[in-house]
Chain A
């Protein structure tokens, strides 16, 4: 197994006085495609936001490439090579695709930025074709691709993707997941939160199931059936098990 790049231990976090995460433990090795699954309110999105410095951390540790990043501001975490593709629309609707991609690399001011942009256009030809279009005038799927592309431009060593399938047509979902698989194949570490469990289980190498702010299952997607997954979501335990600690 590749070396561990992200290591979360006993993480407790939430919004204000409200705790959502109640002691999350999770290690993500470099290059892995991990799907975070779980019922509504399990804390999946909160975990991503916490990794990106957008919540209040109450305890525990987040070690990223040997450095403690818990409590840093989003901009500092971004500078450490962590990028987030948030849930819902996150682009600048009245700017063109090209301008959006420029803004994505706002913190990077070196000569490589332009070359990176050309690379992203190669990766996503649809964006090149529509580079002069206002982002807000594109379809939901295209905007989601744009947002993934924006995150890729930040040269992340880990990509946090929060529910990319929300509001997309099945065809658009297919395209977005294909692209995620493609950049993962090129070595991109991905931590994906997804409600569309079926799709997420197809693409990820590893599934981590969260319930009530804790990891309750961790393994290969092939090791769990769809029914067992449903059972876990509903009750927090596998069939036959009688006692699972929360």
Chain B
């Protein structure tokens, strides 16, 4: 019994790490743009497909496919950033909702048109099991946790000390003032967006060997998983997002095991409701934003 719980918690941490990598981009984009990116899960899907193409069509090894998937996602995000996201600066909230929902449809259907709508098999990754503290899990899952921890550590440094990170915080705190001190808000928005999307892509590539199947609509569910996470984490808060993602990952894993698999996807919004009843601003206050 105890063993099973610890196994489920470890699984939950892996799931949480996957969510965290996706959600952190969404929360950073919200920070600079004050808009929810409803297409965010699609970048997770684009990253996975990028890696799948690299392996299936070009016969590249998995580590190279990781890089290929992330670069492909960053490129797609750069194009969308230049043509769509930068125009959302100062636009009403509805514009952001409609534009990103539209992008989600376009990306999903483009991939389906290019590669077909069926499920594809993702070959690659490190699926040998290892045993740690009595829990046996695939190496790939350890890789996911390690990468997530590294990424969040890097983001903390970026946001705290780098010129770009400071500009991101500045945009999230006072857009008007950015114009006064000469910060190019649109440029900051596009860079933040590309970074956030690339991280979602990375998450997709890392998860693919665990999930095995790849398909055009795989990003949708991820978008709706990340939504409650970024709200719980305190919209725009990087550190808060990490902990909120872990909470959701572990809660999902426990519910799937002890309550029923069919309830797993309701955990996110159920947890969100409980959290908001207790702390209406999310788990982490705006003081800790970025």
Contacting pair A103 B181 (CB below 8 A): yes
**With A99-B166, A103-B166, A154-B181: A90-B176 Cβ-Cβ less than 8 Å:** yes
CB distance A93 to B174 under 8 Å? Answer: yes
Residues 46-97 (chain A) with a chain B CB within 8 angstroms: 52, 54, 74-75, 78-79, 84, 86, 89-95
Complexed CA–CA distance, A214 and B182 (Å): 29
Contacts of A95 in B (CB 8 A): 166, 169-170, 173
Chain B: interface residue total (CB-CB under 8 A):
19
Whether B167 contacts A106 by the Cβ 8 Å rule is: yes
Given contacts A90-B174, A92-B169, A93-B174, contact A106 B289 (CB under 8 A): no
Shortest distance from the beta carbon of A103 to any chain B beta carbon, whole Å: 5
Closest B residue, CB atoms, query A83: B180
What is the chain B residue whose CB lies nearest that of A134? B287
Cα A106 to Cα B185 with chains together (Å): 12
B residues in contact with A86, CB < 8 Å? 176-177, 180
A104 within 8 A of B: yes
CB contact list, A126-166 vs B, under 8 A: 150, 154
- Asked if B84 is at the interface (CB within 8 A of a chain A CB), the reply is no
- A94/B180 in contact, CB under 8 A: no
Give the residues in chain B near A205, CB-CB below 8 Å.
none
Neighbouring A residues of B170 by C-beta, 8 Å: 92, 95, 103, 106
The verdict on A92 contacting B183 (CB below 8 Å), with A99-B166, A102-B166 known, is no
Q: How far is the CA of A75 from the CA of B179 in the complex (A)?
A: 7
Whether B173 contacts A92 by the Cβ 8 Å rule is: yes
B184:A75 contact, CB within 8 angstroms: yes
The reply to whether B182 and A107 contact each other, CB–CB distance below 8 Å, is: yes
Cβ of B95 within 8 Å of any chain A Cβ, yes or no, is no
Residues from chain B with a CB closer than 8 A to the CB of A84 are 180
> B173's closest neighbor in chain A, by CB?
A92
**Interface pair A94/B184, CB less than 8 Å apart:** no
Per the bound structure, the CA–CA distance linking A175 and B240 in Å amounts to 40
Tell yes or no: B286 within 8 A of A by CB.
yes
Asked if B177 and A75 make an inter-chain contact with CB atoms under 8 angstroms apart, the answer reads no
Name which residue of chain A comes closest to B183, CB basis: A106
A95 to B173 CA separation, bound complex (whole angstroms): 9
Cα–Cα, bound, A181→B181 (Å): 23
Q: Complex formed: what's the CA distance from A3 to B225 in Å? A: 64
Q: How far is the CA of A122 from the CA of B182 in the complex (A)?
A: 24
Min CB–CB distance A144 → chain B (angstroms): 13
Instruction: Report whether B182 and A91 are in contact in the complex, using a CB–CB cutoff of 8 Å.
Output: no
- Of the A-B pairs whose beta carbons lie under 8 Å apart in the complex, a sample of 10, sorted by A's number, is A86-B176, A92-B173, A92-B174, A94-B286, A99-B166, A103-B166, A104-B181, A106-B182, A150-B181, A154-B181
The 6 closest A-B pairs by CB, nearest first: A107-B182, A90-B177, A92-B173, A78-B182, A75-B182, A74-B179
